[in-house]
Amino acid sequence: MNLRRWLARKSGLDTRVEEYAFAADPVLGHTATARLAERWVNTTCGYCSVGCGMQIGVREGRAVSVRGNPEHPVNRGRLCPKGLAEHHAISAEGRAREPLLRRDGRLVRVPWTEAIETMVTRFQQVQERYGADSLGVISTGQLVTEEFYALGKLVQLGFGTANYDGNTTLCMSTAVAGYKRSFGSDGPPGAYDDFAAADFILLIGANIADNHPILCARLEPNEARTLVVADPRVTKTAMMADLYLPVKPRSDLALLNAMLRIVLDEQLYNAEYVARHTRGLDELRASLAAFSLEDAAEITGLSQSLIRQVALLYARAKRPMVAWTMGVNHSTKGTETVNAINNLALLFGHVGQPGASPFSITGQCNAMGTREAGFASSLPGYRKFESEADREELAKLWNLPLERIPSARGLAYPDIIEAAVAGRIRALWILGTNPLVSFPNVDVLRQALDRLDFLVVQDGFHPTPTTELADLVLPAAIWGEKEGTYTNSERRVSKVNAAVAPPGEARSDFDIFLAVAERLGCREAIFPSWKSPADAFEEWRRISAGRLCDYSGISYEALERVHGIQWPLAANSIESPEATRRLYGNGRFATDDGRARLIATAWTPFPEQPSPEYPLVLNTGRTVEHWHTRTKTGAISILQRMAPRAWLEMNPLDAQRLELRPHDPVEVISARGRVSRVELRITEIVAPGQVFLPFHFAESNANQITQSAFDPISREPNFKQCAVRVERSPMSARERARKRR
Amino acid sequence: MELPLLARAQSGMDKTYRLTDEGGLAATESLAAAAASDRDLLVSLCGVGASVTLPTPPGPGEQYRFHFDMTRCIGCKCCVVACNEQNANPAEILWRRVGEIEGGVYPDTTRHHLSMGCNHCLEPSCMTGCPVNAYTKDPITGIVLHSADACIGCQYCTWNCSYGVPQYNPARGVVGKCDMCHSRLTQDQLPACVAACPEGAIQIETVRIDAWRRDYHAADSPGMPSADDSLSTTRITQAKRMAANTGRVDLGRLRPEHPHTPLICMTVLTQLAVGAFAAIWMLALVGSARHRAAAPLALMVTGIALAASTLHLGRPIHAWRALRMWRRSWLSREVLLFTLFVLVATLYSFALWLSLSAAFLLGAVTVLLGIAGVGTSARLYRVPGRPAWNSPFTYAHFFLTTALMGAISALLLDASSALARRIAISICLLIVAVELARLLWLMRSSVHELRGAATLLRTVLKTPFAGRLTLLLCTGVLLAHADAMPLLLLASALALAAEFAGRWLFFVSVVPTNIAAQYLAPEAA
């Protein structure tokens, strides 16, 4: 700043009037000139799975503002705080700008050609030496569906490894597994309209006020509903409830089984529906014979009469909905818990009916896209690895020999990590995820990454705790810089568009996949004549045609026109694209015989019970201001200001016993590690004996202490409960110095 | 286990649902039917900004106000982000904030949020205190508007507002605040916070001013400072059932406030100057001695004090504007009185130098203006938003400094004066006694902000607090035993240091009233 300017500022002649000026924007109305846009680009939010339609305001090639798309059926113009500040993610500091290759221990800039060449050569060397499956790929829920489809083909058909999974296994694989077991296929049957249409809503392990705030806006206008919230913690969502159930940690399955027992014992269920559309009633009944209401009361901490009342509320409701998220999924009993929820719905035929469905609220913006188009938990279009007919169909559609189509699922995410520790996975490609913060018991992951011959991390941001360990960093475009589609929790496909160019040399993930395929020499075979995501989408429409997730009636043009279309929509459908669609409303399920399965489940205590050494149960979760590992939201000053660091919630009784005071820095210690210097919040939000720590913060990483315990079916980690003890942190050097003074 | 919501349902009191004897839902059909129209209304209300209708513009005797519905707020903070986007404010400045209140015992926990912008008070204390008339209460909408152009960045409004609404932007050198998106309202657009709230928890309403003046209890809520201070117009819908102990979650967070160094210099040095002129004048009166060389020295101190005060301003070049609102603002009066003081003191100094007979009268006027100036200095810190300042102790603090500096000045001018010596020693002891009495008063108070000040003085500020009292005692001892001029000078220096320390403590130990904040403090910048 020159002297004149400095003097003008200091004397008060210059008050930066231009920076703080206002003007009329035809879209936003009277607003700060800093937000004035030359043009608006329709897109879909890139954070969570609610799938809000939004518009990015662009001026001089920069994203300067956002607003909710008033015409989008999901949010009708509303956005959550992360969405309202999303344009700042694009211009945030710490974006990855150029390919970086590790040389002599340091990451140095290299041209793209060299980056791709090195990556493919190293991967091929590893595969030649240790076998094709020694390459692992861990993807994300953050890419567009076109990219997931392309990546799946590239990994499974190009590199020829089956060991491909996404961070969605840390998140939604339980819902996937639960739906498959009950209904024969993945695919949430309900719609957001159900939140408004239901007369009874049970939110179980779902803190939507923090994690899916715009769903609260769908639910809140429904004044006819009874909202029951089951959560060990008095969340913001619990405060919305008409009836709050303060269940003990991981007792959800006991609560559900008690409800099932009551419904069966008192013959409250829809016998006709059960007889016509399900199998397994006798086994279900038998599995509950030894499980009494007294047991349930003991396990859940709820009174028997209260459990019975909740069961009766569900049984007598005309349009009851049960919705869940991570409280259920993040559990070694997660899949069974999902099955118990599905059992309850099936006993009454409350599946795919207006206002009534077992509804999994997804996590990431396009976790659903990975499930539909990916090659991880199933073949594209919810085809089964084990079905020869499905494989033959794909081989024909792709014009590839049948033996190129994988016939079995590869390793799931946690098993890829274990295989790396064991030396069976030798090279790893991580895309759009930051496992150094998000993977449980992170020291195991560190060991795994240390043992690798070659680690490629493809991300929109650098440095992140994960890119710092990479041998090669590929800079990727992020939301707002690329085109494609996202699918939200209610199976609604929405368009994602590029508003601005990626920074530096960063390229869209799609372009990177094409370049890798080119170098591998399989581009024409797996991506025939593809140039843009639109080409992938056209192929995906053909691949999904006739499947449960039928996209054939959905086109980019229609998506731009109506802003969001729920699948299935067949090409020849006479249905309006805007119509609300649900699955299985006719009682025909995706199983061989068309009948859903009632599945026997059994509650067991969570794996690591409190002990004298570790007497408290740690619960982990999120806060509304941040997204996952904070690579984006930590770089956005307004969100960071509102939630600047981690905290530990503890009940006053425990704090008194431990002689701790509000704002004390504490250590949270488990058998696996410790989180240091977390600020203590003494609060009645949590029950005595329990503590809560948000997991977003790398510097206070909750996953230093979580455990390696996984659902045997879905392979999802048991993030939500482990045993810890809490101590006041030893004084820092500064505090000691101050004390001495 | 007590479950109030269930109890409410069982008793049939709840309008949203009831349980029959068997525990089932009763009258869902009719309720659903009844809700259908409400729902449509609500969807349009809390939906897209554009579809929410504004109330009709206020008529005579009416104004706009915010309505905040605590039962709808889910604490998502959309309003905070939307406000900062609308106004292009940096993240350090939040014109709308969301705080948290909590009470009860698990699982019957009460947990709510308060989203607050400006309360557009009927008697805005930001406005009445402003020395430059930067604030206006819009005659049509009742919105309290602030002009960045008129503002000189004195930040007096940030002390006057009990809610912490006006916030100083150091990058601009001026204060800013929520104006209810006045310009949007006049163009039939919703304020950014209202439009952004996904739950329809923030709305704009029209209020009848006279009726609200009679009964404004709906502006009060747990987590909010009393609406008595300035007659806040924000109507708060509270949750029907809240635990009796529901209150702010951020009370355990006490931090020393900004020291306002230029103001420390300004107040201590003006008080020194006033004391010195009083000593000069009185010595002339009693002993007929003319200390004509001392007057220019005292004048110079006054000049330094006034120059220092302008450094406190964000826009020092416009300092003269502070004279403008002397009819209303104590800050203007302070500036006016000290300006007059410096003018008359200059004349007095000339008169002394030239041994004019008018010196006696000019001296008397100088001293009176000085005392009045110190009085207004003290008065302007008596703001409800800073309870630890809002007490007679502030007068005692400022006048005792003046008296101590006066007595010591007298002693320096006339080292043989036993009276001056006795007075100086007494004042040292008196200040120690008053400070201890004040600490006791703070400690025993039921007001959080007063107890908070005591806590600060007894913990993080313990050393400077005890140090200041020690300095005063040392001064007293030194004065009692020392005759040599170097020792007297040392005692004077100790006394001045004690008073600087005292003033620093005055500024940093105050705990402002504020709306409930979030539990975690923002990151240190």
CATH number at residue A55: 2.20.25.90
Identify the CA nearest to A268 among candidates B106, B494, B24: B24
Q: Are residues A19 and A161 in the same domain?
A: no
**Mean pLDDT confidence for A531-545:** 97
Q: Is B279 helix (H, G, I), strand (E, B) or coil?
A: helix
- Residue whose C-alpha is closest to residue A303's, from B109, B3, B25, B20: B3
> Which residues of chain B are within 8 Å of residue A320 when distances are taken between CB atoms?
none
> How sure is the predictor about B8, in pLDDT bands with cuts at 50, 70 and 90?
very low
Distance CA B487, CA B31 (A): 88
Minimum distance, in Å, between the CA of residue A446 and any CA atom of chain B: 29
Domain termination residue (choose one: A303, A337, A360): A360
Is the CA virtual torsion A56, A57, A61, A64 positive or negative? negative
Residues of chain A with Cβ-Cβ distance to B49 below 8 Å are 70, 77
Residue A386 banded pLDDT, cuts 50, 70, 90: very high
A644 & A660 share domain: yes
The tens digit of pLDDT for each residue in A85-117 reads: 999 999 999 999 999 999 999 999 999 999 999
B498 Cα to chain A: minimum distance (Å):
20
Do A344 and A411 reside in the same domain of the chain? Answer: no
The answer to whether B1 contacts A246, with C-beta atoms less than 8 Å apart, is yes
A327 in the same domain as A242: yes
Report the C-alpha dihedral over residues A179, A182, A188, A189, rounded to 10 degrees: 170
Where do we find the tokens 């416009």? B318
- Spatial distance between the Cα atoms of A180 and A186, rounded to a whole number of angstroms: 5
Work out the mean pLDDT of chain A and round it to a whole number: 96
- For residue B45, the surrounding DSSP H or E stretch is helix B28-45
Number of other CB atoms surrounding residue B128 within 10 Å: 16
Which one-letter amino acid corresponds to residue A65?
A: S
**Is the distance from CB of B505 to CB of B269 less than 8 angstroms?**
no
Length of chain A as a residue count:
741
Q: How confident is the model at residue B181 (pLDDT cuts 50, 70, 90)?
A: very high
Interchain CB distance below 8 Å, B198 and A78: yes
Residue A739 burial by Cβ neighbours in a 10 Å radius (0-12, 13-18, 19+): exposed
- For B344-355, how does the pLDDT look when each residue is reduced to its tens digit (9 = 90+)? 999 999 999 998
Residue A245: inside a domain:
yes
Residue A628 inside a domain? The answer is: yes
Q: Is the peptide bond before B259 cis (omega within 30 degrees of 0)?
A: no
β partners of residue A474? A458
Name the nearest CA neighbour of B411 among B488, B486, B493, B301. B488
Residue that finishes a domain, picked among A482, A510, A545: A545
Chain-centroid distance of CA A293 in Å reads 34
Q: Look at A81 and B105 and tell me if their CB atoms are within 8 Å.
A: no
> A438 with A695: CB under 8 angstroms?
yes
Question: Which alpha helices (DSSP H) does A521-648 contain, by range?
Answer: 523-526, 533-544, 556-562, 637-642
Rounded distance, CA B515 to CA B225, Å? 6
What are the tokens at A451? Answer: 């043992």
User: How many Cβ atoms sit within 10 Å of the Cβ of residue A587?
Assistant: 16
Residue of B nearest to A224 (CA): B32
Size of interface A-B (CB pairs under 8 A): 254
Q: Which domain holds residue A322?
A: 189-360
From the centroid of its chain, how far is CA A143? 12
Least confident of A672-676, A682-686, B9-13, B415-419: B9-13
Check CB contact under 8 Å for B198 and A214: yes
Q: What is the pLDDT of residue A716?
A: 97
Phi-psi label, residue B435: left if phi above 0, alpha if psi -120 to 50, beta otherwise: alpha
Question: With contact defined as beta carbons under 8 Å apart, do A722 and A608 qualify?
Answer: yes
A77, A223, A236: residue with CB nearest B47: A77
Q: Please indicate, yes or no, whether residues A148 and A134 belong to a single structural domain of this protein.
A: yes
Average pLDDT over residues A686-700: 97
Q: Report chain B residues whose CB lies below 8 A from the CB of A224.
A: 16-17, 28, 31-32, 34-35, 39
Out of A31, A210, A639, the one facing B86 most closely (by C-beta) is: A31
Q: Is residue A70 located within the same domain as residue A202?
A: no
d(CA B55, CA A84): 26
> Would residue A581 count as lying in a domain?
no
According to DSSP, the β-strands at A690-694 and A616-621 are parallel
Rg (CA), chain A: 26
- Quote the mean pLDDT of chain B: 89
Taking CA A653 as the corner, what is the angle to CA A650 and CA A655, rounded to the nearest 5 degrees?
A: 50
On whether both A354 and A391 belong to a single domain, the answer is: no
In 3-state terms, what secondary structure has residue A736? Answer: helix
* Residue contact B91–A11, C-beta within 8 A: no
Do A676 and A697 lie in one domain? The reply is yes
Domain co-membership, A525 together with A408: yes
pLDDT-derived band at B9 (thresholds 50, 70, 90) equals very low
Pairwise CB contact (< 8 Å): A679 & B520: yes
Does the reported pTM lie above 0.80?
Answer: yes
* Same domain, yes or no: A325 and A471: no
CATH second-level architecture of B48-248?
2-Layer Sandwich (3.30)
Nearest CA in chain A to B28: A224
One-letter amino acid identity for A217? A
Contact: B317, A647; criterion CB under 8 Å? no
Structural domain ending residue among the three candidates A360, A379, A398: A360
User: Hunting for tokens 């003990």 — which residue is that?
Assistant: A248
Q: Who among A19, A29, A661 is closest to B184 (CB)?
A: A29
The residue assigned the tokens 């919630």 is: A649
**DSSP output for B450-488:** HHHHHHHHHTTTHHHHHHHHHHHHHHHHHHHH--SHHHH
Could you tell me the CA-to-CA distances from B111 to A572, A694, B193, B245 in Å, in that order? 52, 18, 22, 11
Residue B55 pLDDT grade (very low, low, confident, very high; cuts 50, 70, 90): confident
CA distance between the termini of chain B: 45
Ranges in chain B annotated CATH 1.20.1630.10: 261-508
Same domain for A138 and A214, yes or no, is no
Contact call for residues A696 and A646 (beta carbons, < 8 A): yes
Of A19, A84, A221, the CB nearest to B78: A84
DSSP string, B314-357: SSGGGGGGGGTTTTT-HHHHHHHHHHHHHHHHHHHHHHHHTT-T
- Residue B31, pLDDT above cutoff 80: no
- Among residues B76, B229, B86, which one has the least CA distance to residue B164? B229
Give dist(CA B401, CA B427) in Å, integer.
9
Closest CA to B104 of B1, B252, B6: B1
Which part of chain B has CATH 3.30.70.20? 48-248
Q: How far is B40 from chain A (nearest CA, A)?
A: 8
Contact by Cβ (8 Å): A350, A127: no
**Which residues from A are below 8 Å from B173, CB to CB?**
9, 12, 15
* CB-based contact A213 B74, cutoff 8 Å: yes
pLDDT exceeds 70 at position A416: yes
Nearest to A312 among B23, B107, B184 (CB): B23
Which residues, 6+ apart, have CB-to-CB distance to A600 below 8 Å?
A: A280, A283, A284, A286, A287, A288
Mutate to test the interface with B, among A207, A236, A300, A303 (most CBs of B within 10 A): A236
Q: Which residues sit opposite B108 in a β-bridge?
A: B105
In DSSP terms, A429 is beta-bridged to A137, A456
Residue A397's alpha-carbon distances to A372, A401, A564, A584, in angstroms, are 17, 11, 27, 27
Token digits for A455?
Answer: 């680690």
> Any idea what the CATH number is for the domain that residue A642 is in?
2.40.40.20
- C-alpha A381/C-alpha A394 separation (Å) is 10
Question: Cβ contact (<8 Å) for B74 and A216?
Answer: yes
Does the beta-carbon distance from A15 to B91 stay under 8 Å?
no
Domain contains A552: no
Q: What is the pLDDT of residue B288?
A: 65
Residue A354 shares a structural domain with residue A381: no
Q: Region A418-446: what's the mean pLDDT?
A: 97
Classify the C-alpha dihedral B399-B400-B401-B405 as positive or negative. positive
Task: Please tell me which residue of chain B has the smallest CA distance to A637.
Answer: B91
Cβ B89 vs Cβ B82: under 8 Å: no
Of B1, B249, B318, the CB nearest to A12: B318
What band does A738 get if pLDDT is binned at 50, 70 and 90? low
Instruction: Specify the pLDDT at position B45.
Output: 35
Q: Is the peptide bond before B384 cis (omega within 30 degrees of 0)?
A: no
Q: List the single residue in B with minimal CA-CA distance to A213.
A: B76
Q: Which CATH class is domain B261-508?
A: mainly alpha
**What CATH number did the domain enclosing A105 receive?**
3.40.50.740
Q: Which of A239, A639, A648, A649 to mutate to test the interface with B (most CBs of B within 10 A)?
A: A239
Sign of dihedral through CA atoms A460, A466, A468, A471? Answer: negative
For residue B15, the model assigns a pLDDT of 36
Per-residue model confidence (pLDDT) at position A267? 97
- Chain B residues lying within 8 Å of A84, measured CB to CB: 78, 81-82, 85, 196
On the question of pLDDT at B43 being above 50, the answer is: no
Contacts of A37 in chain B (CB under 8 A): none
- Residue whose C-alpha is closest to residue B199's, from B110, B116, B109, B78: B78
For A255-314, write each residue's pLDDT tens digit: 999 999 999 999 999 999 999 999 999 999 999 999 999 999 999 999 999 999 999 999
Distance from chain centroid for Cα B396: 20
Q: How many residues does chain B have?
A: 525
Q: Which of A155, A117, A123, A126 is nearest to A139 (CA)?
A: A155
CB–CB of B106 and A662 under 8 A?
no
Statement: residue B491 has pLDDT above 90: yes
Strand partners, A428: A136, A455
Whether the pLDDT of residue A212 is over 50: the answer is yes
Please judge whether A663 and B252 are an interchain contact, meaning their C-beta atoms are less than 8 angstroms apart.
yes
Would you state the pLDDT for residue A739? 63
Copy the structure tokens of residue B316.
């020092």
Give me the percent of chain A exceeding a pLDDT of 90.
Answer: 97
B50 pLDDT more than 80? no
pLDDT at B2: 47
Supply the DSSP symbol for A449: H
Number of domains in chain A: 4
Residue range B105-161, pLDDT digits in tens: 999 999 999 999 999 999 999 999 999 999 999 999 999 999 999 999 999 999 999
Average pLDDT of B3-32? 39
Q: Which residue of chain B has the CA closest to A312? A: B24
pLDDT value for A733: 74
Q: Judge residue A574's burial from the number of C-beta atoms within 10 Å of its C-beta, 0-12 exposed, 13-18 middle, 19 or more buried.
A: exposed
A392-427 as b/e, with b when 16 or more CB fall inside 10 Å? ebbeeebeeeeeebbeebbbbbbbbbbbbbeebbbb
Local confidence band at A711 (pLDDT 50, 70, 90 cut-offs): very high
Token reading at A166: 């996404």
Instruction: For residue A249, give both structure tokens.
Output: 């940690």
CATH of the domain at A353: 3.40.228.10
